[in-house]
Amino acid sequence: MKHLALIMDGNRRWARANKLDTLMGHDRGASTLKSIVRAVAEQGVPFLSVFAFSTENWRRSPEEVAGLLQLMRKFLMSQTQSLVNENVRLVIIGDRTAFDKGFLELFEMCEAASAHCTGLVLTVAINYGGQQDLVHAVGEAQKQFPNEEISSDMLKSCMMTSHLPPVDLLIRTGGEKRVSNFLLWDLSYCEFYFSDKLWPDFSDEDLKHAFADFYHRTRRFGGDVSSTSKRV
Catalytic site positions = 9, 57
Query: Which of 138, 186, 184 is closest to 158 using CA atoms?
Result: 138
- Cα–Cα distance between 188 and 57 in angstroms, integer? 24
- Cα–Cα distance between 76 and 53 in angstroms, integer? 14
Sheet architecture: strand order including 3-7 = 89-93, 121-128, 47-54, 3-7, 169-172, 191-194
Q: Are 1 and 45 in contact (CB under 8 A)?
A: yes
DSSP 16: H
Paired with 128 in beta bridges are 54
Q: Are 195 and 206 in contact (CB under 8 A)?
A: yes
